[in-house]
Amino acid sequence: MTYWLWSVPPDVYPAALRAGTFALWRQGRARLAEVRPGDRIFAYLPGRQVVAGEFEAVGAPFEDATALAPGRHLPHRLRVRPVAVLPEELWVPRDGVADDLRVLEEYAEHAPETRFRRVVQQVLHPLPRIDGTVLSFVVQARLGTDPDALMVAVEAVRRARAEALDAARPAPEAAGHTPEAAVAEEPLGYVAPLNFDRAEALERLIDGLAARGYRYAPWVVAAYVTALRTKPFVLLAGVTGVGKSRLPVLVASATGGATTVLPVRPDWTDPADTMGYVDLGGRFRPGAVLRVAHAAAGDPGRFHTLVLDEMNLGRPEQYLAEVLSRIEQRAPAPGGYESPLLLTETLPPGDAVWQAVRLPPTLGLVGTVNVDESAHAFSRKVLDRAFVIELAAHDLDDWRSAQSAPPSERWPAEAWAPRAVRLGELADPSGADRAVISRAVDAVAEAGEILAPSGFGIGYRTRDEAALFLLHAAETPGAFRTEAGEPVDPLDLALLTKLVPRLDGARSAARAAAYGLLGWALDGSAADAAAAERTVDEWVSDGRPDAHPGARYPRTAARLARLVEGALDDGVASFWA
């Protein structure tokens, strides 16, 4: 019996489980011919960087050109039976076992941190018997109910390695693993799109919207695109009729994307309409969000946007809880970052296709929010997970008709992929990157010290997303400008979209937080009520501008002045009032 490590793409793995068949294209097909019935195979999911289960080969390799998974041509196949299939929450992280594998010695000429990658790049790789024992121990321990089993397994592995008598391993050349034979693993996480000039494409998008007669300031379009790229969950707030629902549709149309508009209803009190439900006949009825995610996964060549229109007519914490949670659990995958499985409950066998749906890298969620008394206030859980961009009408007397609009252009789907979802995942940040990150982190940390005593403290998620927003904005600096061509600081927008919307309350602590943050945004020093009132008076006397003149962060300061004005008038410090 031979042990094997098979790299199965995460999007193919559910289909492989259902079919009892593992498959590959070209890389690994020579090795596939060496697999014999009875051999043991460990499924490794690249991108997720986990071992997901142990399987046994039950037949000879064969070829089949029928589709095993949508959009995948994988003709070289092998029937397998499950020995131990781990649920997702028990998948074995690569870093937990890689150091105990002897197969890495075959790649001793490579840097230690790249040796495991060399193994999985082969797609199908034989393992020494001791390595098979290691992985089988760990998989069985994960699947068991004894919480100490994993530690026992690790100790058993270490003893087995120490007691192994046959330390000799074939040289890389003898085993057929020359450096030239290795190929790149399927791209995971962020890969810059080829031949795509992001700055020029964004300028054409801005010009195209203006030519169609839509009045969005360039910085609004730039902030929307940058926010949606940084985090696939954006809220567009404002009064009715300022183009909140229209902006995502226009951007998608102009960039070759797809849009689905889903009107939210006040009676959505559970995920039935968004995720789905099993009807009285035992059949699963997929919800709208699940259907859109499935469609986006099957159309990886373009970016899809789901617009949750008037999102706060219901309570997102009730009808969208699973999605909000999965957004935070995204991991590297081909083309960007994808979520874990959206559904955790087991569906009827005939509905297995919905069991495998994730939030793919090519899907963004945009919620539109009418700020009035008819809607529910957002909880911190929702606001902490989103960028909030406020739209307003300007120059109502300007009704210029549309010009000859330029044709739409197709943005590659990868253009919407973030460089990372957390700062710690950034690959080799440059000196310029580090300077941008430091500027954002320092500002968020300063603001956090002011907000923390009032219960509005800032977490790592907000810090990372503000910094990543700045990194992405740095790729299109010219687009962050007003209609008059004046520059708009992306850090100002990051603070405006991530910090200010969290202020909401009638307590004295909420008012103190608003006063202090206003003074900080103005000149770097926290203000009290008296100083805040003077600032508001000056802002009002200037005509209530959208950007407070002379402030460190002009747009953040102006929005805080509006918020503080309400707090001084009626005692409520609320972004949403």
CA dist list (Å): 333 to 8, 185, 190, 274, 345: 12, 11, 9, 24, 23
pLDDT attached to residue 29: 87
Architecture of domain 3-181: Roll (3.10)
Mean pLDDT for back-to-back runs of 10 residues, the chain (577 residues): 93 89 89 92 91 92 86 89 88 82 85 84 91 86 55 48 43 37 45 85 94 90 98 92 91 95 92 91 91 92 95 90 91 87 83 89 94 68 92 67 68 94 89 95 95 88 96 97 95 96 87 94 90 92 91 95 90 84
104 CB neighbour count, 10 Å cutoff: 18
Q: How far apart are CA 438 and CA 440, in angstroms?
A: 5
- Sheet holding 387-390: strands in order across? 258-263, 304-309, 363-370, 233-238, 387-390
pLDDT for 350 equals 78
d(CA 6, CA 104): 15
CATH architecture of 189-417: 3-Layer(aba) Sandwich (3.40)
Q: What pLDDT is stored for residue 370 in this prediction?
A: 83
Domain boundaries, the chain: 3-181, 189-417
Give the phi and the psi of residue 368 in degrees, each rounded to 5: -100, 145
Q: State the DSSP string of 96-154.
A: GTGGG-GGGGGGTTS-HHHHHHHHHTTSEEEE-HHHHHHHHHHHHHHHSS-TTHHHHHH
Instruction: Note the pTM of the prediction, 2 decimals.
Output: 0.69
Helices assigned H by DSSP within 391-457 = 431-451
Which pLDDT value is given to residue 151?
46
The total of other beta-carbon atoms located within 10 Å of residue 159's CB is 10
